[in-house]
Amino acid sequence: MSTTSAEGPASQQGMRRANLALVLGAVSRLGSTSRAQVAEATGLTRASAGSLVNELLEAGLVREHGASLEGRVGRPSTVVSLNDRGPAGLGLDVGVEHAGACVVDLRGEVRIHIRRPARHRGQDPRTVAANLAEVAKTALARADELGLTLVGAGVAVPGLIGTSDTVVHAPNLGWHDVDLIGRLRDLLPDRLRALPVEVENEANLGALAELWRGSGARDFVHVSAEAGIGAAVVVDGQLLRGTRGFAGELGHMPVYPDGRPCACGSHGCLEQYAGEQAVLRECGLTGEVEEGERDRIELLADGARAGREPVLRALDQAGRALGIALAGAVNLVDPETVVLAGAYAELADWLLPGMQTELGARVRIRPWQPDGLVVSALRREGPMIGAASAVVQRVIADPSVLRG
Amino acid sequence: MSTTSAEGPASQQGMRRANLALVLGAVSRLGSTSRAQVAEATGLTRASAGSLVNELLEAGLVREHGASLEGRVGRPSTVVSLNDRGPAGLGLDVGVEHAGACVVDLRGEVRIHIRRPARHRGQDPRTVAANLAEVAKTALARADELGLTLVGAGVAVPGLIGTSDTVVHAPNLGWHDVDLIGRLRDLLPDRLRALPVEVENEANLGALAELWRGSGARDFVHVSAEAGIGAAVVVDGQLLRGTRGFAGELGHMPVYPDGRPCACGSHGCLEQYAGEQAVLRECGLTGEVEEGERDRIELLADGARAGREPVLRALDQAGRALGIALAGAVNLVDPETVVLAGAYAELADWLLPGMQTELGARVRIRPWQPDGLVVSALRREGPMIGAASAVVQRVIADPSVLRG
């Protein structure tokens, strides 16, 4: 948090704002704490820290408990902590085969979780928006019951997002230049319509969820799969977006330059070996999926568990291709970890061996450590939780956004 | 520039420091300017801007010209600009076959340039340090003549640099864990020994030189060649260093996964197709180089200019391999440009066609634009100029570093 903006010099106002964030950040880190401990942790005087804590109390961002801290000598002090009945973030998820909603409170806890099957592949944006509005309404009602105040929302979309928040390209939905937020707003109840709503690529949100709730790594390459392969690079706790917002196209890394033709027009892209369609095709399950209603990933996992050779072979090939592409990524950006997420996390048992083999063989200058490859605990919920957490993170980073 | 450090709250002192940098940055951007214009550009009051300019005058960072600005009405004001006789940075270069030194003034101009042939391949660090000390002494004497005060130095090294500024691994010098700065300091005259000296990887410094003096792009992948392949990723004006400082190992991106064995232990690395040794071997020039004293890159350029088929074929193959590796990098980090630098810049005529073909074929989701591939004007001087410019950049970013 800088008090020197690009436009102007450092100011008293900017200082106050930065110190408010400093105090809220300290309460967030310390959990249940006292004004004195906040002063100590931030380097502020007790008077300043106390006055800033009071401001946060008034804004409903922290709450006060009557109890004194145990194990401390002297005058008992009041305990303050982040408010679990205060501002919260709403996350919405456009899955290819479901609509989801969740609510995350200021402490980062997922308090509400809704997932409803839906046919979104190739679906009209209006219908998808209506499905999202439905789960959002349900989430709002439950938030009211819990005393949580929704202060913003985020929508996770399997597609590329343009600078003006439109969905530029979502191949699995069949969308081009869709104003999803506009359509959604029209269908939301008044209290939600008034909130700031952001739309973001699901792979980016999955990576951010991992950043905020994962192992603590701040430099990692995050690779996930739903219908397509989504990847994101996080550098020093920041998402690398790229000049035009196209960073993370791991699915089109050349893995075998003279290999299979890809829908993108190139040859040998990762997607042709580790994409969902490619894996299903490789093990002859494409037909089974198109006829039935089975979850594709469960179908693969069941096949692998049952020891079906074609499935095991296809997943091994996918793991090796992922390993080759990631070896290039690791050599280029030297991350602390590689995180396997989304549907890949549910297939990790069968993908990891091939990935480790290729990473170990191809990352040699800085020798590859097998514990650098981790499996996300958020699995397919990462993007939606990331969308809700982004709202909360913005409040923690700058509490003054709520005081307009 | 943040006034809120990780350790403490925003302070008056921090504000003054940030505003001093704000003013120096404005003078740097505006060129010749007045106190009133500085106030306008920064948003500071005239009184504050004037007082900060006076502080910079006293520190010798800006200088005052008697003249008034033309085309302005009212009381003539004094012109101030960055001091071209003030603080300056010294850059030193450990080439495999030369020692170099240069001096860059506050305005970013290269005022002194020295390059001496030297046999550094497999050379003892003591001898290399002695060669560097010699060119540094010559640079110091010339800086005195120009009225420039050296305030810091940087050393460009073809190797990996550890956290404690040691040269961890420099394969072409044959070094492991060498304290080059320590050895160099012992050989420097007193006035240089007292200065802060930093050592940095040449590829990183070449990329920084491009950032500060190039096309204005702030997101690019920089790929250069001397003895090895050096690459660097610059994101939003910052060098991406990686968790362990190993980012940019483009030379070991898998290009043809089942291809030629590499010295690193892997197969099909870029270095085996586009590295200097690989190209010389491919066109049968290895022997010629080992016997003679010819510059290897000039030898290749001469052969290509003369239309020698094996040379043209080897350079085309190198260009294609570079294109495949860079297609992966572009898909992953979505840079504004790819910069071809160092020795590659001198071979650009023969490398570019193959690179453009592969990039065009393999970067499809965000379609590749041929003007995204640019050739550095700094050629093989980039790292040394980057080392000197880094000193100047630190002063501009925080002028208080010069004030005790």
Helix intervals (H) in B292-340: 296-305, 309-333
N residues, chain A: 404
Q: Which of A10, A14, A43 sits opposite B8 (nearest CB)?
A: A43
3-state secondary structure of A106: coil
Question: What DSSP line would sit under A345-369, residue for residue?
Answer: HHTHHHHHHHHHHHHHHH-TTTT--
Q: What is the pLDDT of residue B293?
A: 63
The tokens for B299 are 């030898």
* Distance between CA atoms of residues B259 and B251, nearest Å: 14
Are residues A230 and A334 both part of a single domain? yes
**Cα–Cα–Cα angle for B103, B107, B112, rounded to 5 degrees:** 20
Q: What is the pLDDT of residues A71-124, one digit of tens each?
A: 555 555 789 999 999 899 999 999 988 999 999 999 999 999 999 999 998 999
Regarding an ipTM greater than 0.95, the answer is no
B123 touching A (Cβ < 8 Å):
no
In eight-state DSSP terms, residue A399 is G
Helix intervals (H) in B147-249: 180-187, 190-193, 202-213
A138 touching B (Cβ < 8 Å):
no
| Chain B residue with minimum CA distance to A321 | B257
Whether residue B362 and residue A266 make contact (CB cut-off 8 A), yes or no, is yes
Helix (H) or strand (E) holding B339: strand B337-342
Cβ distance A189 to A306 under 8 Å? no
HSE, side-chain direction, 13 A CA sphere, residue B123? 20
Sign for the CA dihedral angle at B302, B306, B310, B311 comes to positive
| Residue A272 domain flag | yes
Whether residue A247 and residue B7 make contact (CB cut-off 8 A), yes or no, is no
Spell out which residues of chain A touch residue B42, defining contact as CB-CB under 8 Å. Answer: 8-9
* Distance between CA atoms of residues A367 and B28, nearest Å: 43
Closest CA to B230 of B257, B209, B259: B209
Are residues A234 and A364 both part of a single domain? yes
N residues, chain B: 404
Q: Write a three-state SS string for B95-113.
A: CCCEEEEEEEECCCCEEEE
Are residues B224 and B372 both part of a single domain? yes
* Distance between CA atoms of residues B347 and A66, nearest Å: 74
| Residue A1 domain flag | no
Q: Domain of B91: which CATH number?
A: 3.30.420.40
Q: What is the pLDDT of residue A16?
A: 83
Q: What is the pLDDT of residue B5?
A: 39
Higher pLDDT, B160 or A70: B160
| Chain B residue with minimum CA distance to A332 | B248
Q: What is the pLDDT of residue B288?
A: 61
Q: Which of the residues in chain B have pLDDT under 70?
A: 1-10, 67-76, 287-293, 403-404
Q: What is the pLDDT of residues A379-401, one digit of tens each?
A: 999 999 999 999 999 999 988 88
Note which residues in 213-232 of chain A have CB less than 8 A from chain B.
Answer: 219, 231
Overall average pLDDT of the A40-56 stretch: 92
Q: What is the pLDDT of residue A4?
A: 38
Tell me the residue type at B138: T
Q: What is the pLDDT of residue A2?
A: 35
* Distance between CA atoms of residues B319 and B116, nearest Å: 30
Whether residue B247 and residue A48 make contact (CB cut-off 8 A), yes or no, is no
Are residues B190 and B120 both part of a single domain? yes
| Chain A residue with minimum CA distance to B364 | A264
Cβ distance B399 to B107 under 8 Å? no
The tokens for B292 are 């003679």
In eight-state DSSP terms, residue B67 is P
B247 touching A (Cβ < 8 Å):
yes
- In which residue are the tokens 């095991």 written? A312
Tell me the residue type at A256: Y
Note which residues in 48-67 of chain B have CB less than 8 A from chain A.
Answer: 48
| Distance (Å) from the alpha carbon of A312 to chain B's nearest alpha carbon | 22
Are residues B355 and B396 both part of a single domain? no
Residue A290 burial class via C-beta count within 10 angstroms: exposed 0-12, middle 13-18, buried 19 and up: exposed
Q: Which of B8, B334, B361 sits opposite A246 (nearest CB)?
A: B334
Helix (H) or strand (E) holding A210: helix A202-213
The phi, psi pair for A77, rounded to 5°, reads -115, 155
Spell out which residues of chain B touch residue A51, defining contact as CB-CB under 8 Å. Answer: none
| Residue A7 domain flag | no
Q: Dihedral of the CA atoms B285, B289, B291, B293 (nearest 10)?
A: 150
| Distance (Å) from the alpha carbon of B149 to chain A's nearest alpha carbon | 30
Spell out which residues of chain A touch residue B241, defining contact as CB-CB under 8 Å. Answer: 334
Are residues B188 and B220 both part of a single domain? no
E-assigned strands of A214-280?
Answer: 220-225, 229-235, 238-240
Q: What is the pLDDT of residue A160?
A: 86
| Residue B387 domain flag | yes
Note which residues in 338-377 of chain B have CB less than 8 A from chain A.
Answer: 361-366
The tokens for B201 are 């990887």
Q: What is the pLDDT of residues A294-350, one digit of tens each?
A: 788 999 999 999 999 999 999 999 999 999 999 999 999 999 999 999 999 999 999
The tokens for B65 are 């010209």
Question: What DSSP line would sit under B250-279, residue for residue?
Answer: GGGSBSSTTS-B-TTS-BSBTHHHHSHHHH
Whether residue B366 and residue A246 make contact (CB cut-off 8 A), yes or no, is yes
Q: What is the pLDDT of residue B215?
A: 78
* Distance between CA atoms of residues A96 and A122, nearest Å: 9
The tokens for A68 are 């004194």
Domain that holds residue A234: 215-376
| Residue A4 domain flag | no
A246 touching B (Cβ < 8 Å):
yes
Using CA atoms, how far residue A320 sits from A52, A252, A258, A276, A303, in Å, is: 53, 15, 16, 15, 19
Using CA atoms, how far residue A163 sits from A200, A276, A385, B256, in Å, is: 10, 28, 22, 36
E-assigned strands of B6-159?
Answer: 62-65, 79-82, 87-94, 98-105, 110-117, 149-157
| Distance (Å) from the alpha carbon of A328 to chain B's nearest alpha carbon | 5
Q: Domain of A39: which CATH number?
A: 1.10.10.10
Are residues B354 and B247 both part of a single domain? yes
Residue A4 burial class via C-beta count within 10 angstroms: exposed 0-12, middle 13-18, buried 19 and up: buried
Are residues B337 and B233 both part of a single domain? yes
Q: What percent of chain A has pLDDT over 90?
A: 74
In eight-state DSSP terms, residue A347 is T
Q: What is the pLDDT of residue A74?
A: 53
Question: What DSSP line would sit under B388-402, residue for residue?
Answer: HHHHHHHHHH-GGGG
A325 touching B (Cβ < 8 Å):
yes
Cβ distance B243 to A219 under 8 Å? yes
Spell out which residues of chain A touch residue B256, defining contact as CB-CB under 8 Å. Answer: 257
- Contact residues for A372 (Cβ-Cβ < 8 A; gap 6+): A330, A335, A336, A337, A338, A359
Least reliable range by pLDDT among A10-14, A236-240, A285-289: A285-289
Note which residues in 253-292 of chain B have CB less than 8 A from chain A.
Answer: 253-257, 264-267, 269
Are residues A147 and A288 both part of a single domain? no
Exposed e or buried b per residue across B47-59, where buried means at least 16 C-beta atoms within 10 angstroms of its C-beta? ebbbebbebbeeb
| Residue B364 domain flag | yes
Cβ distance A21 to A398 under 8 Å? yes
Q: Which of B9, B327, B329 sits opposite A19 (nearest CB)?
A: B9
Whether residue B243 and residue A364 make contact (CB cut-off 8 A), yes or no, is no
| Residue A2 domain flag | no
Are residues A65 and A93 both part of a single domain? no
Sign for the CA dihedral angle at A321, A327, A333, A335 comes to positive
Residue A328 CA to chain centroid, in angstroms? 24
Point out the domain boundary residue: B26, B58, B82.
Answer: B82
Point out the domain boundary residue: A40, A58, A82.
Answer: A82
Give the best residue of B161, B241, B333, B358 to mutate against chain A (max A CB count within 10 A). Answer: B333
| Residue B5 domain flag | no
Q: What is the pLDDT of residue B290?
A: 59
* Distance between CA atoms of residues B33 and B108, nearest Å: 17
Spell out which residues of chain B touch residue A332, defining contact as CB-CB under 8 Å. Answer: 231, 233, 247-250, 253, 328-329, 332-333
The tokens for A340 are 């396997």
Are residues B357 and B390 both part of a single domain? no
Q: What percent of chain A has pLDDT over 70?
A: 92
In eight-state DSSP terms, residue B79 is E
Are residues B230 and B368 both part of a single domain? yes
| Chain A residue with minimum CA distance to B40 | A8
Number of domains in chain A: 3
Chains A, B: CB contacts under 8 A, how many? 188
Whether residue A255 and residue B250 make contact (CB cut-off 8 A), yes or no, is no
Q: Which of B2, B43, B363 sits opposite A8 (nearest CB)?
A: B43
Banded pLDDT at A6 (limits 50, 70, 90): very low
The tokens for A304 are 């692998």
